[in-house]
Amino acid sequence: MLAVRPAAPQDIPAILTIQERVFGEIPWQEDDFRRILGAPGQMVLVAESSEILGFVALRVIADEAEILNLAVKPNSQRRGVGRAMIRDACHRLERAGVREIFLEVRPSNEPALGLYYSHGFTLRSVRKDYYSKPREDAYVLSRVLVHPQHPSKP
């Protein structure tokens, strides 16, 4: 059974491995994840079954949030792992009083675009030459969340 939970320091090696397999490099280092795990207004969630299958890193500022990084192990992609993480993250953010979530994604990343669009994200703007290796624009997507009656912290 797939479960989504807050990441712990012992999850960082698995997160780094997933990141390298998905992106072909390690854009975020171990220290980057350690800082996020201990920082107010930031969180990393992991999806696991018998092992960690994916992660999503988020930052909350006031009533807005940003998905900073999301990756799913290649052999677990298109099996509901990304959907489960997005759904769980949105639920946690709604409870925290977040009004809107933003993210950047490569226009060429059609699977990610499909995932985000299926969860109600819409195209907000384009950032020219945002990515390098290879150089590419970024789509800025956003989703407005529905507020619960009594917000709490994520």
Q: How far apart are CA 140 and CA 106, in angstroms?
A: 9
Q: How does DSSP assign 105-140, residue by residue? A: E-TT-HHHHHHHHHTT-EEEEEEEEEETTTTEEEEE
Nearest residue to 77 via CA among 104, 119, 112, 26: 112
Q: Which amino acid is at 71?
A: A
Q: Give the active site residues.
A: 104, 116
Token code pair at residue 116 = 């985000």
Q: How far apart are CA 43 and CA 142, in angstroms?
A: 19
